[in-house]
Amino acid sequence: MKIYQTNEVRNIALIGGAKSGKTTLAEAMLFEAGQINRRGTVDDKNTVSDYKQIELERGNSVYSSILHAEYNNKKINIIDTPGFHDFIGETIEGLTAADTAVMLVNAQEGVQVGTEITWRLCSKLEKPIFFVLNQLDHEKVNVAETMNQLKAQFGDKVVSAVYPLNPGLEFDSVIDLIDMKMLKYPKDGGKPEVLDIPASEMGNAEELQLLLVEAAAEGSEALMEKYFEEGTLTPEEIREGIRLGMITRSIFPVFATSAKRNMGAGRVMSFITQTLASPAEIPGRPDTSGAEIKCDPAGPAMALVFKTSVEPHLGEVSYFKVFSGEIKEGGDYINLTNLGKERLTQLFVMSGKNRDKVEKIVAGDVGATIKLKDTKTNHTIGDGKVEHPVAKMEFPDPIYTTAVKAANSTDDEKMNSLLYEMHHSDPTLLVNYSREQKQLILEGQGDMHINKVKWYFDNIHKIDIEFIAPKIPYRETITKSAKATYRHKKQSGGSGQFGEVHMMIEPWYEGKEDSKEFPLRGKDEVDLQWGGKLIMNNCIVGGAIDARFLPAIMKGLMEKMEEGPLTGSYARDIVVSIYDGKMHPVDSNEISFKLAGRHAFNDAFKNAGPRILEPIYEISVMVPEEKMGDVMTDLQGRRAIILGMGSDGSFQVINAKVPLAEMHRYSTSLSSLTSGRASFTMKFSEYAQVPGDVQTKLLKEYEEAQKDEE
């Protein structure tokens, strides 16, 4: 396959909400470029982009697909991303490899949550964007309302570059405001007839072109001066202004298509090849030191693996973007992330499941390789001439948590291994074993994301797995001081066991002074892994307990801190003062004092105003205004405390604090309440005491569980 130079490459990511037509547009673009000779459809399950079995069954994109097409002697790398928020990691990967985002908007629905979410991603990554109003052949299309929403949400720099002349069931024509021509498409789509703009439409076209020219003129001082002098710009100058303005995100052009009928795809591709900046003209991605990586084919070789996928007959495929230099077939490279060594025996340019071999990939271009030893997503490979890797992609925190187990315990080891493999190819899917909860915890971006895992176990791996509600990581503490004495005595022939411990326990808090009730002879302070402290004070006088037994007492205390007296949860923030006890000259040993200390602590804890603490999370819900009441009512039913409300464009934002115990499957409930139009983020805030009725319920449940185990 031809080797494309940096200035011949254009990288785009198709982004937007679900059902906006990204995969259909990708198919039309491949057809326009002659990459395929027949357009597939999502309904017929034969598109180049959605080719995996799970996508064919579900009828929507689950993975990003990397495609390519040559058009106007330029190579366009097209990254088709999923529209559902559950697969946001795939969108982040696609945007990292792309230089420009193509935001598809369903002209029937207007701005959706998916539009909002991907816009914010592009803003964070400082990606240029242009919009494509799609599905203009639908009877319910409302272009004026959709444009108003775009401007209201994203600002006045959203300007039409191409607009539909007759949207609706008879749609077949657009007005090109750059070249000031009408493009009229055949009934079955394809190459348009280029015509003069009808006189009846000229006034509207001139008005809209003026807005475009004004926005384009802001691309440079020279263009602005030319515009002030002459009152207009040539088509070439408009393109230059758009190119410069898009780099600085000061203009967001809008195009018009019916991807399903192949109307407008060619005009979009012409814009990509004639107007969009090359990778070398886009600000470079930083490395881990913060320095900008120059997209220079003559520079040191650096490539970021932005995606990993397992493909039939190929195994693990690593997709990478070359940010500097060249990556060559058969070359030896260093993994700058883990300092391992890799040989790239084969290089490919991928188009869905299809691949073309190449000898090298030049800076700015995207390629793939297979069978890397220890290089995963977010790793940088290079020739060793640079010190710092490419800055890693940042993925959102999970919003859906479940425990998972194999239905048959003999499958546990294999299930665990497969889950960790899935994490390597999908960094937004987190897997870890919680020692506290004694569960394997799976975290993801929503119900669909987690169900994707189940689909693979059911259909590919043939292992029956179960999702169950994760145990809540409660904490236990005390609210007042209490004393307890415990004597451990056991005689069974020969040497026995004897140890007696007297202790007082108190709540610990920042700035707490040492108790004056007993003389302090020593202190052992532990910062607990799960938060909080345990402090053991040695207040023994007269040698009642030998100092050599104090570590054993501390060990007994830690055992109960790891399995609290109330519900078996971790305990925290407690001061223990050992002030008296007894020994036996023969029978006293470490195990005796460990058990005595443990039981004394257990008895004192239950008399010290014990409280259960629960994890509280801050939640931010972005919701359409008309659904605010329903969402707030639901949150209050989950014991949430509303902190405040704000707005983000056309959406309202509800900020609240809510107990984790009330958030299981919240993403599913929120989607049901708002017809999938709302989204949320959440992060840990603090531990707080549970209400009395909740504590009583938890104590009863724990007591019953202990009886069942007996």
Q: Which long-range contacts (CB under 8 A, 24 or more apart) does 626-634 make?
A: 627/673, 627/674, 627/677, 627/678, 628/652, 628/654, 630/673, 630/674, 631/670, 631/673, 631/674, 631/678, 634/669, 634/670, 634/673
Spell out the residues 6+ positions from residue 615 whose beta carbon is closer than 8 angstroms to its own.
472, 473, 474, 659, 660, 684, 686, 687
Nearest CA to 63 out of 73, 49, 77, 44 is that of 49
Tokens 């657009």 — which residue?
A: 174
Per-residue pLDDT tens digits for 522-575: 999 999 999 999 999 999 988 899 999 999 999 999 999 999 999 999 999 999
If you ran DSSP here, which 8-state letter would residue 515 be given?
Answer: P
**Torsion angle defined by CA atoms of residues 49, 55, 61 and 65, in that order, rounded to the nearest 10 degrees:** -30
User: Which pLDDT score, from 0 to 100, does residue 709 have?
Assistant: 63
Burial of 373 (0-12, 13-18, 19+ CB in 10 A): exposed
User: Which pLDDT score, from 0 to 100, does residue 47 have?
Assistant: 95
If you ran DSSP here, which 8-state letter would residue 596 be given?
Answer: H
Burial of 13 (0-12, 13-18, 19+ CB in 10 A): buried
**Cβ-contact 159, 253 below 8 angstroms:** yes
- Whole-Å CA distances, 229 to 177, 226, 639: 21, 5, 64
H or E element that contains 635: helix 628-636
Tally of CA atoms within 13 A in the half-sphere of 169 that contains its CB: 1
Using pLDDT thresholds of 50, 70 and 90, give the confidence band for residue 492.
confident
Q: Which SS3 state, helix, strand or coil, does residue 491 take?
A: coil
Kindly list the domain boundaries of the chain, sorted by start residue. Answer: 6-281, 302-382, 400-469, 476-609, 614-693
Where do runs of H (alpha helix) occur along 565-624? 590-606
Reading across the β-sheet that carries 400-406, which strands appear in turn?
Answer: 430-434, 439-444, 400-406, 465-468
CATH code for the domain defined by 476-609? 3.30.230.10
Spell out the residues 6+ positions from residue 507 whose beta carbon is closer than 8 angstroms to its own.
477, 478, 479, 480, 481, 573, 574, 575, 608
Arithmetic mean of pLDDT over the chain: 94
Tokens representing 264 are 């407008």
Distance CA 221, CA 432 (A): 55
Distance CA 434, CA 457 (A): 22
Per-residue pLDDT tens digits for 73-97: 999 999 999 999 899 999 999 999 9
Using pLDDT thresholds of 50, 70 and 90, give the confidence band for residue 112.
confident
Distance CA 228, CA 46 (A): 52
Neighbours of 203 (CB within 10 A): 10
Spell out the residues 6+ positions from residue 207 whose beta carbon is closer than 8 angstroms to its own.
none
- Whole-Å CA distances, 363 to 83, 299, 615: 29, 9, 47
User: Which pLDDT score, from 0 to 100, does residue 524 have?
Assistant: 94
**Cβ-contact 102, 14 below 8 angstroms:** yes
Neighbours of 494 (CB within 10 A): 7
Torsion angles phi and psi, residue 48, rounded to 5: -70, -35
Using pLDDT thresholds of 50, 70 and 90, give the confidence band for residue 648.
confident
Burial of 485 (0-12, 13-18, 19+ CB in 10 A): middle
Identity of the residue numbered 543: G
Residue count of the chain, please give it. 710
Identity of the residue numbered 688: A
H or E element that contains 25: helix 22-32
- Tell the CATH superfamily of the 302-382 domain: Translation factors (2.40.30.10)
Residue 675: left (phi > 0), alpha (psi -120 to 50), or beta?
A: left
Distance CA 289, CA 112 (A): 37
* Average pLDDT of span 626-647: 95
Q: Which SS3 state, helix, strand or coil, does residue 34 take?
A: coil
Tokens 């357009």 — which residue?
A: 39
Whether residue 180 is predicted with pLDDT greater than 90 in this model: the reply is yes
Per-residue pLDDT tens digits for 266-282: 999 999 999 999 999 99
The gap from C-alpha 708 to its chain's centroid, in whole angstroms, comes to 40
User: Which pLDDT score, from 0 to 100, does residue 568 have?
Assistant: 92
Tokens representing 72 are 């106007």
Tokens representing 364 are 């700015």
Distance CA 531, CA 572 (A): 7
Distance CA 18, CA 81 (A): 10
CATH topology of domain 614-693: Alpha-Beta Plaits (3.30.70)
Tokens representing 100 are 């420009």
**Cβ-contact 359, 3 below 8 angstroms:** yes
Using pLDDT thresholds of 50, 70 and 90, give the confidence band for residue 710.
low
Using pLDDT thresholds of 50, 70 and 90, give the confidence band for residue 643.
very high
Q: Which SS3 state, helix, strand or coil, does residue 623 take?
A: strand
Looking at the chain, the whole-number percentage of residues with pLDDT higher than 70 is 99
Torsion angles phi and psi, residue 306, rounded to 5: -95, -5
- Tell the CATH superfamily of the 6-281 domain: P-loop containing nucleotide triphosphate hydrolases (3.40.50.300)
User: Which pLDDT score, from 0 to 100, does residue 493 have?
Assistant: 67
Distance CA 252, CA 495 (A): 85
Distance CA 506, CA 241 (A): 70
Using pLDDT thresholds of 50, 70 and 90, give the confidence band for residue 116.
confident
Distance CA 497, CA 484 (A): 20
Torsion angles phi and psi, residue 114, rounded to 5: -60, -35
Does the fold of domain 614-693 match that of domain 400-469? Answer: yes
* Average pLDDT of span 615-635: 93
* Average pLDDT of span 282-304: 95
Question: CATH assignment of 400-469, given 1.10.3210.10, 3.30.70.870, 3.40.50.880, 3.30.1330.10?
Answer: 3.30.70.870
SS (H, E, C) 249-312: CCCEEEEECEHHHCECHHHHHHHHHHCCCCHHHCCCCEECCCCECCCCCCCCCEEEEEEEEEEC
**Which pTM does this prediction carry?**
0.88
Identity of the residue numbered 454: K
**Cβ-contact 33, 69 below 8 angstroms:** yes
Where do runs of H (alpha helix) occur along 139-292? 143-154, 199-217, 221-230, 235-247, 265-274
- Whole-Å CA distances, 615 to 40, 242, 423, 658: 49, 50, 26, 9
Nearest CA to 50 out of 31, 30, 64, 36 is that of 64
User: Which pLDDT score, from 0 to 100, does residue 671 have?
Assistant: 86
